């Protein structure tokens, strides 16, 4: 396609720009990895991906999204032709109400371990600190910062990572080690807020308002400095942290100075509004590649852009989405933090991907084994489920699922299999499955 064609090469480049951007992965953007030559990395990933079945699937998704965006833009054009002044008044009242509820009394901290799985592995094998290293095989779960200099990222396929960085060392994950190390980290956190909230294995929110009350000689930054030092001493793991009046901002802040750094967004309305004004939408949790593109299409690149478009945006997106936008624009978020223990889990499932096999017999074997796997997990968690879901991934990467609400709770492999089988058979109508999963 390089020559002989009347189509200038630039057109193709532009046509695939968003796809290229998404192939680069979110982390490249979420945490400002400046050292990497993004263009070169993008080039390598693009060329390595081009032509694969996975890539074709991504192209299809990208095309679909482009269509959806066209619809959004048409609706926007229509809205622009209307008189929105009363709508804008309503929004302004909404803003005033939110503003009145703004709570700047709490000091929330988000703690995030740096390259967690990789860091834990480096403790066992310190020589790995000096070389690019990743945890995972087919797909990387994470990598150390040496590897990130080459553009290697979480969620990347191993062979592409290898192309970006031929010296990359791969380690298989050992999850038990990570959960054990996470416990050690929490032993420190609990001293600063005994009702800290574990957000994932390597992240937690703390409310240090009380701690500050009891240590009036310390600033929030000093307390967090101390937390990070203590975690490092106690566990040899370095962590980054964000300090802010609410969880949403604390999370953004913790990404600002990583690795091994911290950032404080002070409890001051003006400072917060100023910070949000230029903050790219994607930096906030909940905005992924799809929402980012939709927002970009309607003219919202940073949170400050929301205000000028408030009349239109409030009609363009769902109520939930609009409320989310408004809260982000204002820099509002959750100000209460509590342990996740007092919380009901909603689902438990297991899934695995395997090579193409379409014969229905082997497929049933797979169903039986995943049912057994699931029974094990359910017993370990002492749970049973009232809904069974069967998920199948085709060789095209298309995913289909069938679920059924039951009259009673089940947990045995036998029951799981029996209830799941008819669902699988419905799905078998579709051609050549690769994969399956289950959840109650």
Ligand X SMILES: Nc1ncnc2c1ncn2[C@@H]1O[C@H](COP(=O)(O)OP(=O)(O)OP(=O)(O)O)[C@@H](O)[C@H]1O
Partner DNA sequence: CGGATCGAC
Partner DNA sequence: CTATGTCGATCCG
The footprint of ligand X (CB under 6 A) covers 31, 112-117, 135, 141-142, 154-155, 202, 258-259
Annotated catalytic residue 203: yes
Binds DNA (CB under 7 A): choice among 350, 363, 416, 420: 350
Q: How far is the CB of 236 from DNA (least distance, A)?
A: 20
Helix, strand or coil, per DSSP, at residue 200: strand
CA distance 147 to 293: 28
Q: Which is nearer to DNA, 372 or 387 (CB)?
A: 387
Q: How far is the CB of 238 from ligand X (least distance, A)?
A: 9
Residues 227 and 219: beta-carbon distance below 8 Å? no
Q: Which is nearer to ligand X, 257 or 401 (CB)?
A: 257
Residues 260 and 266: beta-carbon distance below 8 Å? no
Q: Name which of ligand X, DNA, none residue 107 binds, using a CB cut-off of 5 to 8 Å depending on partner kind.
A: none
Q: Which is nearer to ligand X, 288 or 360 (CB)?
A: 288
Q: Are strands 169-171 and 203-207 parallel, antiparallel or unpaired?
A: unpaired
Q: Does residue 259 have a cis bond before it (omega within 30 degrees)?
A: yes
Q: Name which of DNA, ligand X, none residue 305 binds, using a CB cut-off of 5 to 8 Å depending on partner kind.
A: none
Q: Which is nearer to ligand X, 173 or 266 (CB)?
A: 173
Binds DNA (CB under 7 A): choice among 83, 318, 359, 382: 318
- Which residues share a beta bridge with 142? 135
Binds DNA (CB under 7 A): choice among 400, 412, 421, 428: 400
Angle separating helix axes 38-49 and 17-24, nearest 10 degrees: 100
CA distance 273 to 376: 49
Q: Sheet holding 133-136: strands in order across?
A: 140-143, 133-136, 169-171
CA distance 324 to 89: 19
Q: How far is the CB of 342 from ligand X (least distance, A)?
A: 24
Binds DNA (CB under 7 A): choice among 351, 368, 421, 428: 351
23 lines the binding site for DNA (CB under 7 A): yes
Q: Name which of DNA, ligand X, none residue 439 binds, using a CB cut-off of 5 to 8 Å depending on partner kind.
A: DNA
Residues 149 and 164: beta-carbon distance below 8 Å? no
CA distance 256 to 50: 33
291 lines the binding site for DNA (CB under 7 A): yes
Catalytic site residue from 121, 203, 294, 375: 203
Q: Are strands 133-136 and 169-171 parallel, antiparallel or unpaired?
A: parallel
Q: Give the residue numbers marked as catalytic.
A: 203
Q: Which residues bind DNA (CB under 7 A)?
A: 23, 26, 45, 48-49, 52-55, 61, 65, 138-139, 141, 154-155, 157, 159-160, 199-203, 251, 284-292, 318-321, 345-353, 377, 387, 399-405, 426, 435, 437, 439
């Amino acid at each position: 396609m390089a020559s002989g064609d009347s189509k200038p090469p630039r057109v193709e480049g532009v046509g695939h720009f968003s796809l290229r951007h998404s192939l680069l992965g979110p982390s490249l953007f979420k945490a400002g990895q400046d050292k990497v030559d993004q263009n070169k990395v993008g080039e390598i990933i693009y060329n390595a991906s081009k032509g694969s079945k996975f890539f074709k699937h991504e192209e299809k998704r990208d095309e679909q999204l482009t269509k959806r965006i066209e619809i959004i833009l048409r609706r926007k054009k229509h809205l622009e032709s209307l008189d929105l002044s009363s709508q804008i008044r309503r929004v302004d009242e909404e803003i005033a109400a939110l503003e009145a509820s703004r709570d700047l009394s709490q000091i929330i901290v988000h703690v995030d371990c740096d390259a967690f799985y990789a860091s834990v592995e480096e403790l066992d094998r310190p020589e790995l600190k000096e070389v690019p290293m990743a945890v995972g095989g087919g797909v990387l779960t994470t990598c150390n910062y040496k590897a990130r200099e080459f553009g290697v990222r979480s969620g990347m396929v191993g062979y592409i990572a290898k192309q970006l960085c031929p010296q990359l060392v791969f380690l298989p994950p050992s999850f038990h080690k990570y959960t054990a190390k996470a416990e050690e980290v929490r032993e420190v956190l609990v001293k600063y807020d005994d009702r800290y909230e574990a957000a994932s294995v390597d992240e937690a929110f703390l409310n240090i308002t009380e701690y500050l009350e009891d240590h009036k000689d310390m600033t929030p930054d000093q307390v967090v400095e101390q937390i990070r030092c203590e975690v490092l001493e106690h566990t040899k793991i370095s962590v980054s942290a964000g300090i802010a009046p609410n969880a949403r901002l604390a999370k953004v802040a913790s990404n600002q100075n990583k690795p091994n750094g911290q950032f404080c967004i002070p409890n001051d309305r003006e400072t917060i509004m100023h910070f949000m004004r230029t903050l790219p939408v994607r930096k906030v949790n909940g905005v992924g590649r799809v929402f980012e593109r939709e927002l970009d299409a309607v003219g919202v690149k940073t949170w400050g852009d929301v205000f000028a478009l408030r009349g239109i945006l409030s009609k363009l997106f769902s109520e939930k989405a609009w409320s989310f936008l408004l809260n982000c624009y204002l820099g509002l978020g959750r100000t209460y933090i509590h342990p996740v223990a007092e919380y009901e889990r909603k689902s438990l499932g297991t899934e695995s991907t395997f090579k193409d096999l379409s014969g229905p017999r082997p497929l049933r074997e797979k169903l039986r084994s995943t049912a057994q796997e699931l029974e094990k997990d359910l017993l370990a968690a002492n749970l049973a489920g009232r809904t069974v879901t069967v998920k199948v991934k085709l060789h095209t990467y298309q995913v289909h699922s069938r679920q059924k609400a039951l009259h009673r709770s089940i947990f045995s492999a036998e029951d799981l299999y029996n209830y799941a089988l008819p669902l699988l058979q419905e799905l078998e109508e579709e051609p050549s499955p690769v994969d399956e999963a289950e959840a109650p």
